[in-house]
Structure 1
Amino acid sequence: MNVIKIFIVLGLAGFGYQYWTKHREGQPPVASTSSARSSNGFVLLPGTSGGGSGTVQVIAAEDCPEDAARRADSLAEQLSSKGIPVSRTHSVSFTVASGDPADAQRITAIMNGELPIVLVRGKAKSNPSFEDVMAEYSGR
């Protein structure tokens, strides 16, 4: 339940920041750049806590819907069976030092996506396929 609360807080924080930025400058919120997205659909995010740089993090809440939990567990098992260092976790936190509104927007977009959320070398994607994760991990 705590992860859901974190997702909600991150979403509200992102929305609040975008709303404030839009009204402060009188312009629409900053869109994420295409250079922040890999060819596999993974999006560059600010640094996270936990998990080493070579570890794939598979994130889904403990009490998330059964299908999402099964997908997360299955993905983590598949990755582990291929020798990929993987961490199946229930929470994640980000370090946003720059204050860049695009960072908050990308975090909100990913965290509001379908579970599981997968982080590979500083990039994330919601509900990726095993093939997408393997391609991102291998740098293809």
Structure 2
Amino acid sequence: MSDTGVLTGEESETSTTEQSETTTVRVHCTGHVRGAVGQPKLEYTFEGSTLRAFLESFFEEYDVAELLIAETEDEAAAHGWVRSDGDPPGSWEKNPEGEQTRAFARVAVNGRFNEHLDGLDTELEDDDRVSLMYPFMFCC
């Protein structure tokens, strides 16, 4: 994993074509991410067209990778959930280890969580909305 919190290596290699193109997205930040970034909404232009390229660029400018990206499976899992006796209903998908968000943090593209799209390889287009969510949570 790179110092930005996003996997590097073969999985993040981009073609010369992708590196030369830029994409401008609308970024919406909530909770702790909003506090760290300093504003709830902004336009952001980066080289490339994938969610991975966006996150790598965004994390270089804004120090929020540790708020969003889990480095281990343990950081991605919420503790204290009730165990299931079988398969829960519906479709359950998650990103590979190292590409998951921290427990309670989420990354969404146009309102859909990235693990229900193509994970960090989700293609972005100009004017897409990328939401970086890490809510404030208080406990009694």
Same fold (TM over 0.5): no
Q: Which has the higher strand share?
A: 2
Q: Which has the higher helix share?
A: 1
TM-score (norm 1): 0.30
